[in-house]
Amino acid sequence: MPISFKITYDNPQNRARLGLLQAPHGEVETPAFMPVGTAGTVKTITPEELTEIGFNMILCNAYHLFLRPGAEIVARHHGLHNFMNWPGNIITDSGGFQIFSLGGMSEISDRGVTFTSHIDGSLHFMTPERATRLQNMLGADIIMALDQCPPYAASYAEVQEAVERTTHWAKRCLSSHIRNKDQALFGIVQGGIFRDLREYSVSELLELDLPGYAIGGLSVGEPKEQMYEVLEYTTPMLPPEKPRYLMGVGSPDALYEGVKAGIDLFDCVLPTRIARNGRVFVDEGYLNIRNSVHAGDTNPLQQGCLCYTCRHYSRSYVRHLLNTNEILGVRLTTYHNLYFLKQYMQKLKEAIKNHDWENTVPFWKNEIV
């Protein structure tokens, strides 16, 4: 098996647990948040800085790497790790979500999906076999089966069809997976907000006995309370001895609820995306550093934060950089946001061990100036 997973502590108050994921490029203590390196880089941050912050697993986007530069070019470098000079673990998604959300989809069938590139309008046909082969060439440590992610507003019949197709495609991905010794293939549970379809999706995927399972089709527009409800009944259906991965979730309040529900892995573009817009995480919530109230503020972004940004620069200086479109400003806000989430996940781990959720980890969700 390319990965192993063991639970090191179960919290008696809820389903939260501590775990240790052993993957080809090192250990990952869970629960863990993974920064997103869409095109083979976490925007504005070097691999050395990610390591400095404490990350040892990131996610890369197979859809974007398929379009640019192409899996063949990455393979010439003997995989993504060498291509991007990243020593830690990598998960690649199958590209399914991006095909349905970014590409102009023209046709979908059990065979696969025809879509147009959001870059140049070129036509492509993606099958489960091709998605798996693409990820085999990219060389990630964990790869995802091709799935169909229905939108939040989809009807029961549409979601049911997507679940059945996702199961069908997962079987084909498994059959075509040629790197079983050094790449773990995860399946993706679909089912929208319909409990019986989630149950059906889990039951079908468990028959494949995959090394890990992801929960997809959430954080796609539904209210967060509804997402938490789906997590509450879906997570216990998954085998406790295998890692559970919630896709596309990264706000501190959602991480809080996901960890309590028993999720081990998370990824999201949120911390890097909002950093580019001048929004940073602080203990009280989101802080918009572009606001004029920070023009003369000599304090760091977060009092007591030990990240590089907060140790060296003031709110006033970071605001100046952002407002003059200096690249350093975005680098500094991104560094801080990733550091904040890394520390936040550490606080969640401590909450699990100390049985002190309300005092150790406040329910963070505020918007402040």
Instruction: Respond yes or no: is residue 267 known to be catalytic.
Output: yes
Angle at 22 between CA 18 and CA 24, to 5 degrees: 155
Pull the structure tokens for residue 259.
């960890």
CA geometry: angle 26, 29, 34, nearest 5 deg: 80
Instruction: Provide the greatest CA pair distance for the chain.
Output: 61
**Cα–Cα dist 59/242, whole Å:** 19
Any catalytic annotation for residue 93? Answer: yes
Catalytic residue among 10, 93, 196, 297: 93
Q: How far apart are CA 121 and CA 210, in angstroms?
A: 35
Cα distance between residue 139 and residue 110, in whole Å:
26
Residue 266 CB neighbour total at 10 angstroms: 24
Burial degree of 6 (CB within 10 A; 0-12, 13-18, 19+) = exposed
Dist. CA 248–CA 96, nearest whole Å: 13
Evaluate whether 104 touches 154 at the Cβ level (below 8 Å): no
Alpha-helix runs per DSSP H in 31-155: 47-53, 62-67, 71-76, 80-83, 96-101, 128-138
**Whether the Cβ atoms of residue 113 and residue 65 lie closer than 8 Å to each other:** no
**Active-site option among 120, 147, 267, 356:** 267
Cα dihedral 137, 143, 145, 148 sign: negative
Active site members: 93, 267
